[in-house]
Amino acid sequence: MGPPSGTLPAMSTGSQLAKIKLLQGLSEVELIDLARAARWHRFEEGEVIFDRQSDCRGVYLVVEGEVDVVNFSSQGREIAYARVREGDFFGELSAIDGQPRSANIVAQSNCRIAELSRETFTELLKERPQIAFRVLQKMVGIIRTADERIMDLATLGAHQRVCIELLRLAKDDPVKPGSWMIYPLPTQAEIAALASTTRETVARVMGQLSDDGFIRKVHKTVYIDSRDKLAELASKLNPRRDDTPAR
């Protein structure tokens, strides 16, 4: 088990902050000063880092591991907003406007995280324009992603949204040029959260796609031979088709 939350010796942590993209360009001395000012935490997979409406206001730097940004509907369905990976950060909205948290943060794997106080973070924004600009770039990305998802929810059926998420997750297959793959394959529950639907719907759609030859699943990998054909199928699916009622 790792050390408890708290302030750790700067020499053992300053170099760790060098991997945080937000802080690129800071000197070694500045990173050590930040490490000394930070509170260091370890979270285990599945552990809640903070809840929506929490009154904490710090910014969290992911030194090791990954976390999920999620919310829950009134029926208890999980809605996934984003996955924050090693080298990235989260919590900047509340640090800037002083309002309660807008989402729940859950450790997707075992994590080591440095927490900067609101005061330390805002001082960085004031003194370092390049850091402020990186925060603005992230916010622009959040807005664009939100716009896309709002459009999807307004215009696409649940089956279409599952196909769209598979297309978004797909990366070039390094072994077979012109082919695509999803690795590691998220769980059906994780895909459902991304597509704002149910796990049962994801299971049905992926089963049908596999039967029809649009995807191939091998262990923890899904292969897509043609993105164009899958995209064409998604455009033809009935947009009125809806989810199985949540239970």
Q: Going along the chain, which residue ranges are E strands?
A: 39-43, 48-50, 59-64, 67-72, 78-84, 89-90, 104-107, 111-116, 171-172, 180-182, 216-218, 221-224
- 3-state SS assignment for residue 194: helix
Q: What's at 244, amino acid-wise?
A: T
State yes or no: pLDDT of 153 exceeds 50.
Answer: yes
Q: Rounded distance, CA 218 to CA 190, Å?
A: 18
Model confidence over 178-235: pLDDT tens digits? 899 999 999 998 899 889 899 999 999 999 999 999 999 998 899 998 999 999 998 8
Over range 39-66, report the average pLDDT.
Answer: 95
Beta-carbon contacts of residue 19 (< 8 Å; ≥ 6 apart) = 63, 86, 87
Question: pLDDT tens for residues 13-24?
Answer: 678 999 999 999
Q: pLDDT tens-digit profile of 93-143?
A: 999 999 999 999 999 999 999 999 999 999 999 999 999 999 999 999 999
Judge if the upstream peptide bond of residue 184 is cis by omega within 30 degrees of 0. yes
Half-sphere exposure of 8 (CA within 13 A, CB side): 19
- Average pLDDT rounded to a whole number, residues 234-242: 66
pTM: 0.75
Tell me how far apart the alpha carbons of residues 105 and 48 are, in angstroms, rounded to a whole number: 6
At residue 167, what are phi and psi to the nearest 5 degrees? -65, -40
- The reported pLDDT for the residue numbered 80 is 86
**What pLDDT sits at residue 30?**
94
* N- to C-terminal Cα separation, the chain: 37
Domains along the chain with CATH numbers: 10-153 (2.60.120.10), 156-236 (1.10.10.10)
- Given this model, what pLDDT does residue 10 score? 45
**pLDDT given for residue 9 in this prediction:** 46
